[in-house]
Structure 1
């Protein structure tokens, strides 16, 4: 998978900056624990940390190609799932290969097609190419934004990295955070290009950023487009099934141990069943991992997000498919460990996450990494197939805002902890409204679409353009923090394009969520899971979790000069630590968690807040 970084300074001698480049590269050792490399010329430096997945001895980076007249260097992160076909095509075009890695396929693809190579790739990737002939740097990101990539303009060039921490390791980058950064943090709407850090920008998904002496330019090579869907129900189900089979087969290719994340829901169970069929052809059993909480099944209480515990369904899938399964069971002490919180904040570079859903994900991945290096996930199926409950609630459909903002959820919280003056200056609700108006204006509709179809196309579009990016970034950071590569079959762009354009009447033909996925994969599912109502990633219901948060927050109140109080109203925190943890509202618990995130973030990053 890997982490990439680099520095271009058209008026700076970078051959004197080896230590800085090494420091930038070293920040991503967790993303690439297997190898490290740098490549430096007069005005350009590239860094790479490697997690070896394919062609373990041959994929060393940065990878270069040179003639007396031209030198091209590549630092690459991700996986290209059609690299075998592309290598064959490039060989027919006269290219020669020294390795079996997909990295070399991308490099030769650039030599053949230039930055248009991205249009030939099926996969998740972020890479940088320096071309001495063009005297330009090209930053390229995959279509859905599975792999992260950021850049920071300087006086004479640019800094870039897979994560902000790589850029912040350079003395040219400021650690300032202003009101715009905080609006994006609290708004929870993933504005394109947003970064918490002032001056830093995220490369948009499906885009190429070109850096040369004339400046920085962005070009989109892929966009989610509306097209007429002509297949009937049976043909649509068959096509979804074909795509799912092909995607899972491609994404199981690796030279290291593989597994599947199994939650007992439709999405992960479908991936598990399909993967089991593929691996059976190789004489292997599929390995699966799940996260659970001590006593959760016995003490489970239905809430606004979950009707049932996951464990019975996980057991059904494991028996039905015959998986080699392991449960990772966590308790309140595990989930509230300050060291785990700091690890997750370091992984994400931002202080607002999904509470225990973040720390449990990190601990799950850490345990998996002891046995596997690649995991397949059911992430993004809800955005693609219309699985969230919000898709099916009339009040949310009519709300005129982002569905995940309007839908009832413990994670859908207003930042009630903010000091009044800062809350007014931020105007988070106005920011959300502006962002919603912007993204709705991007949606193309077909002539003759009904009002319902237009509404549902808009809901699908905003989920795929905004919410899915929040969830993908979370999963990438938590997994790469422990050197685990998580692949997301539901983000295959062919599947996304096809299902996006299927009318809502097909996506919900049986009156339920994710009708197409359920019918296309029913043959690999136990009946209990095929009939199960949507249930999101689990969250602990143990009141000891809230009690532990309160105890840690009391320690903050003993430090009146703690910088956290620039973002937290002291009276709110005082009132919150005095609540009964057994009856604490879920949204309050989430905000309390985020206050502790702020504390860890201030300590780790020492940001400069600019609040005027």
Structure 2
């Protein structure tokens, strides 16, 4: 797991621009605290920051292979879980390896198979190769978009990086955000390829992007496809379990300490229990970590989203699976700390406004990093198996928009609540969401004879796997890599995603409950309490002192009426939310304050040029 960056300029020799490449590379130091390296050859410059996971002494980058036609150089971020099999196949084809790293396997795989190497990889990855044989750059991203990857076209080439900050460190990139970028920030629709920053794009998941002197081209090597599912219930359950056992076994491979993230929900509990059983076969105990808030369990108040606190279930799993467990307990002072908010925004490069849920995730990862370098997460099981409330909400099912937006507006209010009315009019978010939704569902294939209900659930599943999950995967990656922690996501293995996506809804939820298929596939390793537990989202603090701290910070911001944030948000609306001398503010008001404070810090830190017309 690492940070990558680079610059291709066909009209110049970049050896004279080593200082700029160094600056781009150093923005990735948090992603790769263990080592750094750069490589420049004529029009190509590659930079790398390394977090050493596999083959600690031998996996240095950039890595090159010399061929009779020219050198091939690569910078790679991620993990390839089937690298052992690929290495054996490449060895049979005559390749000789000088390291034990998966990086070299991917590099030599490209030399052997070209861009088609992507189709052979099982893992999470974003990597770029300069192919000196053909003077072209090849950028490849994993199927689900687990690892971030951005690029920015220039008049004579391209800039690229794991994160926007690497690209923005080059003077050729303008730090500019237009109305279209703000639309993306305030709608939670995750348009494929959109990067918020003007002129910047994502390498889309499952895509190869090539750049040579003739221009830039994109090739999709993987996407969700509709296929018939012929397995019966028992076979489907057993197949899911076989896949999960293989996935967890592969993702436990590491040369550094690893652990699991445990929330007490079905997803993380199943993954932790499977990991504990497998490691137990060799006499090893898995470490597990959970986030909690001071006083939350004792003073928990159930609501429509969260019916139970996490900690009792966490401890049930830890006892049953025999993990070496630790709770990371956070207080409201830490969650509301402006320095923590700054760290989160620096990690994300944009102000997402998730508030205490962003802060707690960052602080959790920071605490875990003191003990482990690799963590397995239950992220994405809800998208794969259908665990969210909106999968069961008739209103969300019938609405002609993204189903999660109906849930969000019901529980949190609209993100536009704090915006200036004139800006709200110019943004026209309603039309933006409608256009995005039409685009999202336009290419979803329907099976012959598929019922209306099954096709509706297929569309909902597809939207979650191609839009919603990418927001959460990016959040997870940025927060973890900001502290040098690699988080792996077993439920994003493409084999599992493909199989379950094409499993009919009648099998995914055959008893009418969420994620029945996953529950039954892992029932033998779960405590009964977790088996019976109803879905509860990622926790959010209920401590009234957190809301009071938000109000205090907002009042301080309001004392600076010339701040640029008031070009975006309406000070009168912020004042109404901040002015009540009571912590009993609505969820919408609290979210509006979090959004405002994030925007203000982002403007201070990045000084973007805002084009609001």
TM-score range, shorter chain: over 0.9
CA distance in 2, matches of 1:344, 1:433: 30
In structure 1, what is the equivalent of residue 285 of structure 2?
A: 285
Matched with 2:457 is 456
Aligned position for 1:334: 334
Match of 2:549 in 1: 548
* Alignment-derived partner of residue 247 in structure 2: 247
Q: Partner residue of 1:447?
A: 448
How many Å apart are 1:67 and its aligned residue? 3.3
Q: Which residue of 2 aligns with 1:513?
A: 514
Q: Given that residues 143 and 205 in structure 2 are in contact (C-alpha distance below 8 angstroms), is that contact kept between their aligned partners in structure 1?
A: yes
Within-5 A mapping of 1:76-225: 76-225=76-225
Structure 1 contact 30–483 (Cα < 8 Å) conserved: yes
C-alpha distance after superposition, 1:469-504 (max 9, x if no partner): 000000000000000000000000000000000000
* Inter-partner Cα distance in structure 2 for 1:491 and 1:136: 30
Distance (Å, rounded) in 1 between the aligned partners of 2:113 and 2:261: 36
1:496 paired to 2:503: no
Q: Deviations 1:254-313 (Å, cap 9, x if unpaired)?
A: 000010000000000000100001111221111000000000011111112100000110
**Residue 156 of structure 1, CA deviation:** 0.2
Partner SS, residue 418 of structure 2: coil
Matched-pair contact (CA < 8 Å) for 2:145–2:205: yes
Is 1:373 paired with 2:377?
Answer: no
> For residues 405-449 of structure 1, what are the alpha-carbon distances to aligned partners after superposition, in whole Å with 9 as ceiling and x for unaligned?
011554563311111111000011111111011111121010111
1:585 Cα deviation (Å)?
0.7
CA distance in 1, matches of 2:134, 2:276: 47
CA contact (8 A) 1:544 1:581 kept: no
Aligned to 2:426: 425
1:589 to 2:597 alignment: no
- Taking the aligned partners of 1:191 and 1:88, their CA distance within structure 2 comes to 39
Unaligned runs of 5+ in 1: none
Q: What are structure 2's unaligned runs of at least 5 residues? A: none
Which secondary structure state, in structure 2, belongs to the residue aligned with residue 219 of structure 1?
Answer: strand
Deviations 1:491-527 (CA, angstroms, capped at 9, x unpaired): 0000000000000000001110001100000111000
Provide the rounded CA distance (Å) in 2 between the counterparts of 1:333 and 1:133.
56
Q: What is the rounded CA distance, in whole Å, between the counterparts of 1:579 and 1:434 in structure 2?
A: 38
What is the rounded CA distance, in whole Å, between the counterparts of 2:130 and 2:83 in structure 1?
21
Give yes or no for contact 2:261–2:288 (8 Å, CA) kept in 1: yes
CA pair 248-581 structure 1, distance change in 2 beyond 3 A: farther
Deviation of the 1:353 alpha carbon: 3.2
The Cα offsets for residues 155-183 of structure 1, whole Å up to 9 and x where unpaired, read as 10000000000000000000010001011
Bigger mean CA deviation after superposition, 488-497 or 417-426: 417-426
Q: Tell me which residue corresponds to 1:573.
A: 574
Equivalent position of 2:609 in the other structure: 608
Whether the 8 Å contact between 2:291 and 2:330 is mirrored in structure 1 is yes
In the TM superposition, residue 580 of structure 1 has moved relative to its aligned partner by 4.7
- SS state of the match for residue 288, structure 2? strand
Query: 1:392-417: per-residue Cα shift (whole Å, max 9, x none)?
Result: 11111111111110115545633111
CA distance in 2, matches of 1:201, 1:323: 42
2:414 — aligned with what?
Answer: 413
User: Hey, what's the Cα distance between the residues in 1 that align with 2:291 and 2:414?
Assistant: 25
Write the deviation string for residues 38-66 of structure 1: whole angstroms up to 9, x where unpaired: 00011010000000000000000000011
Query: Hey, what does 1:525 align to over in structure 2?
Result: 526
Q: How many residues align?
A: 612
Listed one character per residue, the Cα deviations across residues 537-579 of structure 1 (whole Å, up to 9, x for unaligned) are 1000111111000100111111111011011101111111112
Q: Corresponding residue for 1:482?
A: 483
Distance in 1 between the 2:334 and 2:504 partners? 44
From the superposition, tell whether residues 595 and 50 of structure 1 become closer, same or farther in structure 2 (CA, over 3 Å).
Answer: same
**Correspondence for 1:35:** 35
TM-superposed CA distance for 1:68, in Å, is 4.8
Secondary structure of the 2:326 match is strand
TM-score by length of 1: 0.99
Deviation, 1:133, is 1.1
Question: Is the partner of 1:47 in helix, strand or coil?
Answer: strand
| SS of match in other structure, 2:305 | coil
TM-score by length of 2: 0.99
Tell me if structure 1 keeps the 8 A contact 2:65–2:73: yes
Secondary structure of the corresponding residue to residue 187 of structure 1: coil
Q: Distance in 1 between matches of 2:73 and 2:575?
A: 55
The separation in 2 between residues aligned to 1:222 and 1:587, in whole angstroms, is 38
